[in-house]
Amino acid sequence: MARISILAIAAVLAATTAVTAQQADEAQVRARQRIAVMEGTLESAVKIGADNLLRQVKAVAPDPPMLTGVPEVRGFRLDGYGIFFDVGVPMLRLPVTWPLRYMINSDNRELQILAAELKQLSTQMDARHQPQIAQVVRRLELRAQAQGPVTLRPTGAVAASQVEATQPPVDSRVLDNPAEGYTREVKAALMDAMIENSGPLALGPDEWLTVAARDNVPRDPLVPGDLADFSTIIFRLKGSDLAAFRAGRLTLEETRQKVEVREY
């Protein structure tokens, strides 16, 4: 009888152990699936940041910059620390015509502004001189068109309102330094994705959500190990701050201020 009891207890323990192991495996699979979803979210965030930059540049330049590839994200849990995501960000490649943009745009702008002003003046002139003025205006317009399609701001309140209705606002900092503008847009998109989409990761209050965004550029075989121009930006946010945001105790802007940012 004792032997039967021991065998029964052993069978129960074995079954319990098997169920516990199965539950642990399922929990690990679900955790990995949540990380995979967040990987896709961060990839989309990089694309959104790049799209925000490219749309602004396309509004004023015929040859917009291009990206060197696509974003790549890998995430994993670190026991006792939290969850870490490695984000490979493709770099921005400026077109070869970019250094000429200021000269071309300036000349084109002056020509079109001059043509618009002459058109306005011609309506106030004697009718005998209007055909001659019209010919001059036409020559200016053809010359401006020959220099390339550039979105310009005409003079006058009506013309300005027409431009504002058709042309998206462009941050002057983007045109002065597109690379910095690209970094700024990607940083903002990644930070918001961390805050707004990390709920399913189920971080503990003392754990950290960390995102390391680094330049993802194909290595030059002619210059192995040349990483002088590469950079990494690390974002870190505590689980307790994420919980406070989800509970409504922190606003989005307040939570952004909680994100620790380091650049290398």
Q: How far is CA 37 from CA 56, 139, 193, in A?
A: 29, 58, 12
| pLDDT grade for 158, boundaries at 50, 70 and 90 | very low
Q: How far is CA 41 from CA 35, 66, 190, 194, in A?
A: 10, 22, 9, 9
The sign of the CA dihedral 165, 138, 148, 174 is negative
Instruction: Give CA–CA dist 176/179, Å, rounded.
Output: 9
On the CB side of 124, how many CA atoms lie within 13 Å of its CA? 5
- pLDDT, tens digit, for every residue of 36-77? 999 999 999 999 999 988 888 876 666 778 888 899 999 999
Q: Which of 26-30, 156-160, 233-237 has the highest mean pLDDT?
A: 233-237
Strand partners of residue 83: 77, 209
pLDDT at 94 over 60: yes
What pLDDT score does 61 carry? Answer: 67
Q: Is the predicted pLDDT of residue 140 greater than 80, yes or no?
A: no
Alpha-carbon gap, residue 4 to 232, rounded angstroms = 64
Q: Any idea which residue has 């490979």 for tokens?
A: 88
Q: Where are the beta strands (DSSP E) in 199-249?
A: 208-215, 232-238
**Residue 27 identity (one-letter amino acid):** A
Helix/strand/coil (H/E/C) assignment for every residue in 114-143: HHHHHHHHHCCCCCCCHHHHHHHHHHHHHH
For residue 47, the model assigns a pLDDT of 95
List residues bridging with 95 in a β-sheet. Answer: none
- Amino acid 221: pLDDT: 52
H-helix or E-strand containing 242?
helix 239-246
Phi, psi of 66 (to 5 degrees): -130, 160
Per the listing, tokens 């005998």 go with 128
Q: Pull the structure tokens for residue 53.
A: 């930059």
Question: pLDDT band at 28, cuts 50/70/90?
Answer: confident
Q: What does the mean pLDDT of the chain come to?
A: 76
Return the higher-pLDDT residue of 31 and 217.
31
Which of residues 65 and 172 earns the better pLDDT score? 65
In the prediction, which pLDDT does 113 show? 64
Query: Domain extents for the chain?
Result: 2-96+174-263, 98-172
Spatial neighbors of 251 by CB under 8 A, at least 6 apart, are 245
**pLDDT interval class at 35 (50, 70, 90):** very high
Q: Which amino acid is at 112?
A: Q
